[in-house]
């Protein structure tokens, strides 16, 4: 790796940034920060950055703090003369606010895109963003990477599921679940879910499984788990069909409040996510996929 490449460890993604730097054999630049009593963040970069400056920072809760920290660091890279400033944001907040669903709503994702661009970001890399449409607000280069292969390989290697069935908790995740099921050479099924726009309540319309899941291991696959409501409802529905074990897998495990306990109580044996968000269930490392994309970026830049 070019010595003029700096991997910056944002406060929210220190461990992941360390793994990426190790994979690349690149310089890791740690970022000192301080949170004042009034909630303000002070960022100090004590080490010069290279021409290729790559920040790794997820924007999970506290969302606005992590987002602003990312913008502050990226702005400093630009101010220091880095000509190739990239942001790796494995979990991109505000992707669910990509349209005006109710009259008067702010399309927050459009603002987030402008903010990243305003501080000199040239490229953005994210993982399994909730709404791919939200990336249309960016005018810079964007890449939405997939963790499907990593999650599937983890399942095959570590769980060794018995006659697996892959279930998407909603129709919108059918493509992701189908790709996952193809790797496992097995069946896939999508539940029909609806959610009230002004609440977190989840409902499953009346439907019957087209597969006999008795004695089979069921994998509920989603892009993210927030409050866990969708996974809980899906698990309670599936338990009635006498599966062997139920596993919940996702790229981003926010696990708001007591989501993990609720999911386990609903019949899920194990929750497995990537390390886009650190936590107890973050068992799948994203660094190989992110590192490969960074190499592509540096190589393309070198050709110019």
CB count within 10 Å of CB 59 equals 26
Running DSSP on this structure, what letter comes out for residue 158?
I
Spell out the alpha helix ranges (H) of the chain.
14-24, 63-79, 108-118, 148-154, 174-184, 229-239, 259-265, 287-303
Two tokens at 293?
């994309």
Residue whose C-alpha is closest to residue 67's, from 30, 49, 86, 94: 94
Two tokens at 211?
């597969």
Q: Are 74 and 85 in contact (CB under 8 A)?
A: yes
For tokens 């505000």, name the residue.
94
Q: Following DSSP, what letter does each residue of 31-94 receive, concatenated?
A: -EEEE-TTS-EEEE--S---SEEEEE----SSHHHHHHHHHHHHHHHHHTT-SEEEEEESS-TT
For tokens 């269930």, name the residue.
281
**Can you tell me the distance from the alpha carbon of 34 to that of 69, in angstroms, rounded to the nearest whole number?**
11
Q: What are phi and psi of 140, to 5 degrees?
A: -90, 175
Q: Are strands 202-204 and 193-195 parallel, antiparallel or unpaired?
A: antiparallel
**Can you tell me the distance from the alpha carbon of 284 to that of 267, in angstroms, rounded to the nearest whole number?**
22
Q: Which positions are annotated as active-site residues?
A: 193
**Can you tell me the distance from the alpha carbon of 270 to that of 276, in angstroms, rounded to the nearest whole number?**
18
Q: Are strands 123-127 and 84-89 parallel, antiparallel or unpaired?
A: parallel
């Amino acid at each position: 790796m070019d010595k003029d490449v700096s991997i910056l460890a944002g406060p929210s993604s220190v461990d992941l940034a360390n793994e990426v730097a190790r994979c690349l054999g690149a310089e890791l630049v740690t970022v000192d920060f301080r949170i004042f009593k009034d909630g303000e963040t002070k960022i100090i970069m004590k080490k010069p950055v290279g021409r290729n400056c790559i920040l790794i920072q997820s924007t999970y809760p506290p969302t606005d703090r992590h987002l602003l920290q990312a913008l502050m660091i990226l702005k400093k890279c630009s101010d220091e003369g880095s000509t190739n400033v990239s942001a790796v944001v494995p979990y991109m907040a505000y992707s669910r606010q990509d349209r005006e669903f109710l009259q008067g709503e702010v399309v927050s994702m459009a603002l987030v895109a402008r903010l990243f661009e305003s501080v000199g970001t040239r490229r953005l890399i994210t993982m399994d963003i909730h709404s791919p449409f939200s990336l249309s607000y960016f005018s810079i280069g964007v890449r939405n990477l997939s963790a499907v292969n990593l999650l599937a390989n983890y399942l095959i290697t570590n769980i060794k599921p018995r006659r697996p069935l892959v279930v998407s908790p909603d129709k919108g995740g059918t493509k992701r679940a189908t790709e996952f099921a193809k790797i496992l050479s097995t069946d896939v099924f999508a539940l029909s879910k609806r959610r009230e726009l002004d609440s977190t309540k989840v409902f499953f319309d009346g439907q019957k499984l087209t597969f006999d899941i008795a004695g089979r291991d069921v994998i509920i696959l989603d892009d993210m788990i927030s409050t866990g409501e969708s996974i809980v409802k899906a698990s309670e529905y599936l338990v009635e069909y006498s599966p062997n074990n139920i596993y919940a897998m996702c790229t981003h495990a926010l696990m708001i409040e007591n989501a993990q306990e609720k999911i386990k109580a609903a019949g899920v044996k194990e929750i497995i996510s990537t390390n886009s968000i650190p936590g107890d269930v973050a068992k799948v490392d994203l660094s190989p996929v992110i590192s490969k994309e960074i190499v592509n970026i540096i190589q393309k830049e070198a050709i110019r």
